[in-house]
Amino acid sequence: MARKTASPEEMRQAVADYVAAVHRAYLASTADLSPAVAGALPLLAAEDGFSVLAVGAGDLHLIATLQALPTARAGEVEVPDQTGGLRWRLCFYDSVVMPELGTLAPGRGSVTAEEVRRLLGVGTWLYHLVLSPAAGLSAHNAVHAGTALGHGHARDVLATQAGSR
């Protein structure tokens, strides 16, 4: 039996569920940190929320940023979400919405994270995750990604705090 291709709405929902699961794992992995460390974590320090760009450029690029982005224009999809005090808006980009994405790597393989951020004009980011189509958007994978992200951010905050003493 042939596998049914997911509709754009189903794909967007799968990405939204994955991003929420990453953020829940991030919160769980950093829950026992001291208030000073937790308060300095990039995602927790974003009191006004942040944006997560879901960019289809061969692989799926998930880029969280504090940079101001315009509200969704015609053809663009934006979904607000939150969990455990984190608030974000998920913005979707692919070559239909942004044709320039289709020109990044025609015939040469993977698109680099730097190329995607440069094309979108993202100069500062809280995280940039890259998922290959074969990896899937499972909750299991999201837990690993969110836990690793939380531990990495905590390590960076602790190193910065230790260096400022």
Tens-digit pLDDT profile for residues 18-61 = 999 999 999 999 999 999 999 999 999 998 999 999 998 888 99
As a whole number, the mean pLDDT across the chain is: 89
24 inside domain: yes
Q: Is 121 left (phi over 0), alpha (psi -120 to 50) or beta?
A: left
Q: Is the pLDDT of residue 102 over 90?
A: no
Amino acid at 151: H
Q: Structural domain tally of the chain?
A: 1
Token reading at 1: 């039996």
Answer yes or no: is 18 within a domain: yes
Residue 1 domain flag:
no
Q: Name residues whose C-beta falls within 8 Å of residue 149's C-beta, 6 or more positions apart in sequence.
A: 22, 25, 26, 127, 129
Provide the pLDDT for residue 24: 98
Strand partners of residue 92: 54, 77
Band of residue 103 on the pLDDT scale cut at 50, 70, 90: confident
Pairing outcome for strands 50-57 and 86-93 = parallel
Residue 2 domain flag: no
In a domain, 19, yes or no: yes
Flag whether pLDDT at 106 surpasses 60. Answer: no
Look at 102 and 164; give whichever has higher pLDDT.
Answer: 102
Note down the domain range covering 89: 8-163
Q: Is residue 22 in a domain?
A: yes
Q: 74 in a domain, yes or no?
A: yes
Residue the block writes with tokens 């994270």: 113
